Structure 1
């Protein structure tokens, strides 16, 4: 196996992370669309959308909405944390009662998505993120680019 210089790995890191975020976000959006609208081979659709069924309908909304934000790289950390939490909830609420191990209870996808989105929440969006394009524009207009840059409330 050829040696890869550390500089090459570090240079590629944000691009690989960005591509990883895009693929994961796209797959999660597809999962939500299948759940809500019965497309892409999904079994959801009309009954789920019309009944506001808990938790499937709301999980589908999170998958579609927050997954879209992760996909385009806008408010990525917050959206990824929401996705991670929803998948952890899905694992413990739906799958864990069936059996202990994910391979036994059908929860591999939920467990994996939960950890993948937690990684994205901590690692950030990487390259190709819409937030990196809009951030400087918002700063020039005087609006805070991220929640961390919002001014603290005035003391009373």
Structure 2
């Protein structure tokens, strides 16, 4: 059983990353474009408004990168930091606990993205596609340069 779970782990992590990235990107799209019931049901945040517009841009771009698995660790770090900032500047001054101050989504996204910084993208990621290509090229070069041993 443990062997099967271990073999499925990269795929579970990949699906987790995709879902979290898409959910985060939807928050950004809702705020930037007023879709999906965002920004007061149909409105959008004016361009350049601090910090809301920048947070929404990070959500859309960072969430999309995480969902695609492209630059996952860096994108997840930026997303985690933006949610930590949101929690401590917007929610935490209202009350101590996330349940009291409405900051649960910010806290959960913050810790979720921080986890992805340490775990990486898992399976089904563009990161893996590019790294496999690069590592295959490096292995080919290494085998070309390795001395032949006569048997």
- Which residues of 2 match residues 1-156 of structure 1 at below 5 A? 5-43=1-39, 48-50=45-47, 52-138=48-134
Which consecutive segments of 4 or more residues in structure 1 shift more than 3 A?
A: 44-47, 136-142
Query: Which one has the largest radius of gyration?
Result: 2
Q: TM-score, normalized by length of structure 2? A: 0.85
SS at match of 2:46: helix
Checking the alignment, whether the CA contact within 8 Å between 1:25 and 1:70 is kept in structure 2 is: yes
| Helix, strand or coil at the partner of 1:49 | coil
Task: Give the alignment's TM-score, normalised by structure 1.
Answer: 0.82
Gaps of 5+ in 2: 139-151
Deviation at 1:139, TM superposition (A): 5.5
Bigger proportion of residues as helix: 2
Structure 1 residues 97 and 46: alpha-carbon distance in aligned structure 2, compared to 1, 3 A threshold:
same
| Cα distance in 2 between the residues matched to 1:136 and 1:7 | 24
Shift in Å at residue 27 of structure 1?
0.2
Q: Distance in 1 between matches of 2:44 and 2:9?
A: 43
What is the aligned length? 137
Q: Secondary structure at the match of 2:64?
A: helix
Please give the per-residue CA displacement for 1:51-97, whole angstroms capped at 9, x wherever unaligned: x1100000011001111110000110000011000000000000011
Provide the secondary structure at the position in 2 that maps to 1:48.
coil
Tell me if structure 2 keeps the 8 A contact 1:37–1:49: no
1:36 and 1:48 in contact (8 A); partners too: yes
